[in-house]
C-alpha cells in the first residue's frame, strides 16, 4: 500500500562484497564480533560492489551486459509487482489541471536544445536560486534538464568515470543508484557503511564521518578500485536525515583533498517537513571547496509527487561536465510540451510557497507523527529527523537470526499481509533487520497499513521473542 | 533553412577506416582506380568504424569516454548552430490543439511501467497492425515505448552487443546512428558501402545486395570484429529509397544464415509520398525468417513532424530483448502526460488516414517535384524514389577534386549563403560530393532556399568546370 508517492524499490544488487557484519566499535579500530557468529570475519567498513557477480547469461539473444540489464527487470520489484497485481483501490481522485498548461507551439515539437529549452533552464535557475537560497543567482547555462535523476546518475557516471571505476556512497542508500551508474556506465559503488550505534566521532545513529570516508577510500584503493567521486543524498534516503552545513563542508573538503567529484542528490530538498531541522542545500553554501567538481541534482518526482512526469535537472559550474551530460541528453530528452508545463509550474512560486509546500509539509508531518507514535506503541525503534517520506525502522529484534535471509522472510510476511516495505539489503544496509516504511499516503490508507504492520509483528513476535537476536 | 522538420545532422564520426575510394567495378572483383590517384589503395567494400580515433581527453574532469561524448557535442552540428544563430524568421504559425489532450490523472504522474503504459502499448499495437498491414494483429506485449529512436538504438546496441562488437549498416546512412550505438553502448558500425554506379547485381544506384553484405561481414570478421546484427533503414535515409519485399526477404535470410539480429528502422514509414512506390513494412511480411532476431522501430519524429515530442517504439517478438530494453527505459522514459497524448493521437485513425496523411503526402510530393525540377534545371543529378523528406544530390562535378576536404568546402559555401545541407561524409558516403537536401518545408522557404543553392552553384561553377573531376 505504500509506494503511492514514493519510488520503486529495486531488488538489491547481488554479489556485493559487503560483509554482513553487525555492530562494531568505531573509534578505536577494534572490531566487536557478534557472540553468535564466532567464525565471522571482522566486518569491513566499506564494500566494493560487483553488480555482475551471480549473473549467468541466460538468453541466447542478449549480450552479457544485456542479460544483466534484463536481470534487473526480472528479479527486481517483486514486491512492487505483487502490490500492483492486488492493489488497494478506492474511488479515483478528481484531478486538477491548470489553465493554459497545454501549449503546442511548433518550437516545442522540433528537436530541442538537448540541454533543455532556454526558457526552462532560466526558470530552473530562478527556482533553484530561490529555494536553495543560493548566495548569488544561479545561471541557466549551468543547468541541464532531462527526464529524471535516474538518467542523470547514468549520464554523470558515464562522463566522469571509466568503465570499472567507482563512486563512494554512504550506506544505507537509495539502492536504485546501483543500477543507474552500472547498467549503461559500468560504474561501481563503494559503500561507506554507516552504523546504527553511536560510536567514535558520531553523535547520532548512522552518522557519516570523514574518518569513515577516508577508510573506505583507502580500502577501495588497496583493492585496486579507482574512486572518482562521492555521492551524497541530502536529505538522505532512507534515513530521513539531513547533513548540517558543517558536515557538508567537511565532506566537500574531503572530496577536494582527494580530487573527487561530489554528486549531491537533493531530490527531497523541499520535503523537509520538521521546522526544527535546518536543511541547507549545497547550493546555499557561501563557498564551495571545489565548485568544478560539485554537481547537484534535483527533480520533481518526490517534492512534487510526480515521478511519472519524468523531469530532473543538473546544476554544475563545470562546463565540460554540463556539455558531456547534455550530449547524452539525446537519450534522456523530455518532450517540449512537458518542458513548457514544467516552466509554468516552477514559476508559480506564490502557489508553491504559500499553498503547496505548507499543505504538503503539514500532511507529511501529520503522517510522520502518526507512524512514529504507532511504532513507539509497538516498541519499535526508528530513525527519522523530519525529512523525506519515510522512517527507517529497526526490526532487528523481530528476526530470529541477524541474517539477510531472515530479513527477507520478514519482508515476505509483510508482503503476504499486503504491506510493501523495503528491506535493508535493498539499501545495502549492513545490519540485517532494518526496513524503510513510507508514510506519504492518505490517512485512511496509512491506518490500514499500520494495522497490517501490527498484525504481522504481533502475530510473529512470539517467535522473535523466543530467540534472542544478536 | 532546411532542418525545419528534419533531424539534425551530426558531424560524422572521425577516424573511420573507410577508404575514400571512387568508382569500382563490382561484379568481377577488379578495382578500377582513379587515374588521378595512382597511389591510392584499392578501395574496400566495407569499413569498420572506430569512433575513438582522433580524440584526446581534453578535460581534466571527464573520463576518456566522457571526452568522446563531449566531443560529439562540441564539434557536431556546426551548421545547425550557425543556422539557429541567424535563423530565417517569419510570423509565428498559430498552433492547433486538440480538445482533451491535457489530461492529468494521478496514475500518469506516478512511476510507470517502464515498457510504457498498457493503454499506450495497446494503441501502438493497433496502430502498427493497421499501418504496417501486418498479417495478424500485433501484440501489446511486444511493444516497448520510449523517448525516441535515438534512445532505442542506444538500448538495443547495449543489450544485443558486448562493448566493441558491431552492427553492419549499408552506407550512406543517417549518421547519428554512429553515436547512438557508441556513446553508451560502445558498439561500432561496419559500413557496407553502396555504389552510385549500377554494377554487378544491382539494378539502381546505391542498391544493397546480399553479396555486399557477405563481403562486409567476412571482412569485419577477418579484422577480428564480431558482428552481432544488421541495421536496415527503410525507407532509407538519405537515399529516399525503399526496399522491395523481395530484397527485404533476402537481407533477412542473409541475417538468419549468420545468426545476426536485424534492427529495422522504419521511422519514415508513413512518409512514402509517391503512389507508385510499393513500400512494405517488415511487419507486413507473411513470414519473418528469424522473428526472434527481428526488431522494428518507429517514432513520430518524422511521420508526424514531432521530433520534440520524444516518442519512439520498439516492436519485437523476442521477450528477452523487449525486457532488457524495458529495463533500460528507466533512462529513456517519457512523461505519462505525453503517453496519454500519444495514445489520443494514434487512435485517431480517421483523421490520420483521411486528413493528415493525404495532405502531408501531397505537400511532400509537391515539394519534391519542385526541388527535383530545380535540380534538373541546374543539371544536377539526384536520387530519390519518393519516400522521406530529402533528395540525395550528386554535386561531385562541383568539387575541384574528389576529396572530403573539397566536399566540406562546398558545404561551407552553402552555409555562408545561409543554406544548410548535409554533406555526404556525415552519412559515411564513400564518394565525396554527395549532399542531402531536405525539402520538407513551406513553399516560399523552399523557393528561397533553392535560389540560394543556385547562387552558390552558379557563382562557383566556373571553378568546378575548369578542373575536371575524377
- DSSP letters, B51-106, are TTTT-----TTS-HHHHHHHHHHHHTTHHHHHHHHT----PPPP----TT-----H
A229 and A312 belong to one structural domain: yes
Res A226: pLDDT: 95
Q: Looking at the partner chain, which of A61, A62, A160 has a beta carbon nearest the beta carbon of B62?
A: A160
Please indicate, yes or no, if residue A224 is contained in any of the structural domains.
yes
Please indicate, yes or no, if residue A325 is contained in any of the structural domains.
yes
A268 and A383 belong to one structural domain: no
Res A272: pLDDT: 97
Quick one: pLDDT band at residue A230, thresholds 50, 70, 90? very high
* Helix and strand totals (H; E) in chain B: 14, 12
Mutate to test the interface with B, among A141, A318, A328, A441 (most CBs of B within 10 A): A328
DSSP string of B411-437, one letter each residue:
HHHHHHTT---EEGGGGT-SSTTEEEE
Q: What is the mean pLDDT of residues A90-115?
A: 62
Res B88: pLDDT: 60
Instruction: Look at residues A284, A285, A314, A278 and name the one whose alpha carbon lies nearest to residue A299.
Output: A314
A338 and A400 belong to one structural domain: no
Q: What are phi and psi of B47, to 5 degrees?
A: -155, 135
B345 and B356 belong to one structural domain: no
Please indicate, yes or no, if residue A324 is contained in any of the structural domains.
yes
Task: Answer yes or no: are the C-beta atoms of A397 and A460 closer than 8 Å.
Answer: no
A65 contacts in B (CB within 8 Å)? Answer: 158-159, 162-163
B362 and B266 belong to one structural domain: no
pLDDT tens digits along A135-171:
999 999 999 999 999 999 999 999 999 899 999 999 9
Residues B162 and A66: their CA atoms lie apart, in Å, by: 8
Quick one: pLDDT band at residue A96, thresholds 50, 70, 90? very low
B361 and B410 belong to one structural domain: yes
SS3 A301: coil
Work out the minimum CA distance from A184 to partner chain B, whole angstroms: 6
* Contact across the interface for A59 and B320, Cβ inside 8 Å: yes
Residue where a domain stops, chosen among B314, B333, B349: B349
Q: Looking at the partner chain, which of A308, A324, A332 has a beta carbon nearest the beta carbon of B110?
A: A308
Residues B23 and B433: their CA atoms lie apart, in Å, by: 13
Res A65: pLDDT: 65
ipTM value greater than 0.90? no
Q: What is the mean pLDDT of residues A53-58?
A: 55
* Contact across the interface for B69 and A341, Cβ inside 8 Å: no
Cα–Cα distances (Å) from A361 to A270, A326, A351, B370, in that order, read: 9, 34, 14, 62
Residues A63 and A69: their CA atoms lie apart, in Å, by: 10
A324 contacts in B (CB within 8 Å)? Answer: 59, 62, 66-67, 69-70, 73
A81 and A143 belong to one structural domain: no
The total of structural domains in chain B comes to 2
Work out the minimum CA distance from A69 to partner chain B, whole angstroms: 6
B328 contacts in A (CB within 8 Å)? Answer: 69, 183-184
Question: What are the grid coordinates assigned to A384, written together?
Answer: 527519522
Q: Is the model more confident about A341 or about A6?
A: A341
The residue of chain B with its CA nearest to that of A330 is: B150
Please indicate, yes or no, if residue A38 is contained in any of the structural domains.
no
Res B55: pLDDT: 52
B323 contacts in A (CB within 8 Å)? Answer: 70, 73-74
Work out the minimum CA distance from A410 to partner chain B, whole angstroms: 26
The residue of chain A with its CA nearest to that of B75 is: A327
Residues of chain B with pLDDT under 50: 1-39, 91-98, 461-470
β-partners of residue A190 are A48, A168
* Contact across the interface for A335 and B333, Cβ inside 8 Å: no
Note down the domain range covering B299. Answer: 46-52+98-349
Residues B458 and B453: their CA atoms lie apart, in Å, by: 8
Q: Looking at the partner chain, which of A62, A147, A150 has a beta carbon nearest the beta carbon of B147?
A: A147
Of the candidate ranges A2-11, A45-54, A292-301, the one whose mean pLDDT is the lowest: A2-11
Sign of CA dihedral A410, A411, A415, A421: positive
Mutate to test the interface with A, among B101, B337, B344 (most CBs of A within 10 A): B337
A107 and A196 belong to one structural domain: yes
Residue A414 pLDDT > 90: yes
The residue of chain A with its CA nearest to that of B73 is: A327
Please indicate, yes or no, if residue A126 is contained in any of the structural domains.
yes
Task: Answer yes or no: are the C-beta atoms of A340 and A103 closer than 8 Å.
Answer: yes
* Contact across the interface for B63 and A160, Cβ inside 8 Å: yes
B135 and B155 belong to one structural domain: yes
Res B62: pLDDT: 72
Work out the minimum CA distance from A220 to partner chain B, whole angstroms: 19
B292 contacts in A (CB within 8 Å)? Answer: 61
A114 contacts in B (CB within 8 Å)? Answer: 73
* Contact across the interface for B309 and A5, Cβ inside 8 Å: no
B355 DSSP assignment: I
Res A75: pLDDT: 57
CATH number, domain containing residue A355: 3.90.1150.10
* Contact across the interface for B64 and A162, Cβ inside 8 Å: yes
Residue A384 pLDDT > 90: no
**A227-233 and A166-171 beta bridge pairing:** parallel
Q: Is the model more confident about A5 or about A185?
A: A185
Residue where a domain stops, chosen among A294, A327, A348: A348
DSSP string of A338-379, one letter each residue:
HHHHHHHHHH-HHIIIIIIHHHHHHHHHHHHHHHHHHHHHTT
The residue of chain A with its CA nearest to that of B72 is: A327
A66 contacts in B (CB within 8 Å)? Answer: 158-160, 320-321, 324
Residue where a domain stops, chosen among B349, B368, B397: B349
pLDDT tens digits along A326-355:
989 999 999 999 999 999 999 999 999 999
Please indicate, yes or no, if residue A15 is contained in any of the structural domains.
no
B84 and B107 belong to one structural domain: no
CATH number, domain containing residue A343: 3.40.640.10
A110 contacts in B (CB within 8 Å)? Answer: 4-5, 307-308
Please indicate, yes or no, if residue B35 is contained in any of the structural domains.
no
Res A101: pLDDT: 66
A218 and A127 belong to one structural domain: yes
Please indicate, yes or no, if residue A422 is contained in any of the structural domains.
yes
Mutate to test the interface with B, among A58, A63, A87 (most CBs of B within 10 A): A63
A152 and A71 belong to one structural domain: no
Orientation of helix B64-75 relative to helix A319-328, angle to 10°: 80
Q: Looking at the partner chain, which of A63, A74, A336 has a beta carbon nearest the beta carbon of B161?
A: A63
Cα–Cα distances (Å) from A399 to A377, A424, B223, in that order, read: 19, 13, 58
**pTM > 0.95:** no
* Contact across the interface for B97 and A103, Cβ inside 8 Å: yes
Amino acid at each position: 500500500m505504500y509506494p503511492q508517492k514514493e519510488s520503486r524499490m529495486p531488488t538489491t544488487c547481488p554479489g556485493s562484497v559487503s560483509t554482513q557484519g553487525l555492530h562494531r566499535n568505531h573509534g578505536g579500530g577494534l572490531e566487536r564480533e557478534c557472540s553468535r557468529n564466532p567464525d565471522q570475519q571482522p566486518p569491513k567498513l566499506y564494500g566494493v560492489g560487483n553488480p555482475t557477480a551471480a549473473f549467468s547469461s541466460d538468453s541466447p539473444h542478449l549480450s552479457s551486459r544485456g542479460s544483466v540489464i534484463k536481470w534487473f527487470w526480472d528479479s527486481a520489484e517483486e514486491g512492487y509487482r505483487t502490490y500492483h497485481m492486488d492493489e488497494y483501490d478506492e474511488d479515483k481522485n478528481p484531478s486538477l489541471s491548470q489553465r493554459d498548461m497545454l501549449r503546442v507551439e511548433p518550437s516545442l515539437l522540433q528537436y530541442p536544445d538537448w540541454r533543455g529549452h532556454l526558457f526552462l533552464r532560466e526558470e530552473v535557475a530562478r527556482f533553484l536560486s530561490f529555494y536553495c537560497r543560493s548566495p548569488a543567482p544561479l545561471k541557466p547555462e549551468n543547468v541541464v534538464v532531462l527526464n529524471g535523476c535516474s538518467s542523470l546518475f547514468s549520464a554523470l557516471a558515464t562522463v566522469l568515470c571509466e568503465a570499472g571505476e567507482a563512486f563512494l556512497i554512504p550506506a544505507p542508500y537509495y539502492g536504485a543508484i546501483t543500477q543507474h551508474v552500472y547498467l549503461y556506465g559500468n560504474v561501481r559503488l563503494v559503500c561507506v557503511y554507516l552504523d546504527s550505534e553511536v560510536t567514535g566521532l558520531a553523535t547520532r545513529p548512522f552518522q557519516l564521518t570523514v574518518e569513515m570516508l577516508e577508510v573506505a577510500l583507502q580500502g577501495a584503493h588497496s583493492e585496486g578500485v579507482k574512486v572518482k567521486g562521492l555521492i551524497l543524498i541530502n536529505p538522505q534516503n532512507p534515513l530521513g536525515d539531513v547533513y548540517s552545513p558543517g558536515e557538508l563542508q567537511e565532506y566537500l573538503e574531503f572530496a577536494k583533498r582527494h580530487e573527487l567529484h561530489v554528486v549531491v542528490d537533493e531530490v527531497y530538498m523541499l520535503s523537509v517537513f520538521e521546522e526544527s531541522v535546518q536543511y541547507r542545500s549545497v547550493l546555499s553554501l557561501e563557498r564551495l571547496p571545489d565548485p568544478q567538481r560539485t554537481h547537484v541534482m534535483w527533480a520533481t518526482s518526490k517534492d512534487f509527487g510526480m515521478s511519472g512526469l519524468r523531469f530532473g535537472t543538473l546544476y554544475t559550474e563545470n562546463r565540460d561536465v554540463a556539455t558531456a551530460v547534455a550530449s547524452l541528453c539525446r537519450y534522456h530528452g523530455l518532450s517540449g510540451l512537458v518542458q513548457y508545463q514544467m516552466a509554468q509550474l516552477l514559476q508559480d512560486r506564490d502557489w508553491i510557497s504559500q499553498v503547496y509546500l505548507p499543505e504538503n509539509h503539514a500532511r507529511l508531518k501529520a503522517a510522520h507523527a502518526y507512524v512514529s507514535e504507532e511504532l513507539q506503541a509497538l516498541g519499535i525503534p526508528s530513525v527519522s529527523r523530519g525529512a523525506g517520506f519515510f522512517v527507517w525502522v529497526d526490526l532487528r529484534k523481530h528476526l530470529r537470526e541477524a541474517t539477510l535471509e531472515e530479513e527477507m522472510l520478514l519482508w515476505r510476511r509483510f508482503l503476504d499481509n499486503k504491506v510493501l516495505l523495503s528491506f535493508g539489503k535493498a539499501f545495502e544496509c549492513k545490519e540485517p533487520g532494518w526496513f524503510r516504511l513510507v508514510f506519504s499516503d492518505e490517512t485512511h490508507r496509512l491506518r490500514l497499513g499500520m494495522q497490517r504492520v501490527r498484525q504481522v509483528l504481533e502475530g510473529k513476535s512470539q517467535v522473535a521473542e523466543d530467540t534472542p537476536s544478536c
